[in-house]
């Protein structure tokens, strides 16, 4: 069994910061890519950022310069540092772990940016 758990969401004011964490456990295969997605009601789930095993990164245009994705050294973990947050960043953020055989999703963590 593979379990993926996100944490770190919450309520922040515009211009504030949050750091999201994702931890994967269980009998997981070799990981190729780790991604963060976000989704609001009635809208599609969009990729925000990704990081490869070589630690190469890529970002959606809407978050470039504000968000940073990183991978943990000691375990199957991935982080998303979110700075200069805007109201349009409000969403449920999901972690996606991708391997050659399959991919695994967490339950999501809610981020609300409001004054």
Write the pLDDT tens digit of every residue in 38-48.
999 889 999 99
**pLDDT given for residue 27 in this prediction:** 80
**pLDDT given for residue 80 in this prediction:** 98
CA angle, residues 73, 78, 80, in degrees to nearest 5:
125
- pLDDT of 114 strictly over 90: yes
**pLDDT given for residue 16 in this prediction:** 98
Q: Which is nearest to 80 in space by CA: 99, 59, 106, 98?
A: 59
- pLDDT of 10 strictly over 90: yes
Q: Where would I find the beta strands (DSSP E) of the chain? A: 2-7, 10-12, 18-26, 31-39, 46-52, 57-59, 67-71, 77-82, 91-99, 103-105, 109-113
**pLDDT given for residue 74 in this prediction:** 62
């Amino acid at each position: 069994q593979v379990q993926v758990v996100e944490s770190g969401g919450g309520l922040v004011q515009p211009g504030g910061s949050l750091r999201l964490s994702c931890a994967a456990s269980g009998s997981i295969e070799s990981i190729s890519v780790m991604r963060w997605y976000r989704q609001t009601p009635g809208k599609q789930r969009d990729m925000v950022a990704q990081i490869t095993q070589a630690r190469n990164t890529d970002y959606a245009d809407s978050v470039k310069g504000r968000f940073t994705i990183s991978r943990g050294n000691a375990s199957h973990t991935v982080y998303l540092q979110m700075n200069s947050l805007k109201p349009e960043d409000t969403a449920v953020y999901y972690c996606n772990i991708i391997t050659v055989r399959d991919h695994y999703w967490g339950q999501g963590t809610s981020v609300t940016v409001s004054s």
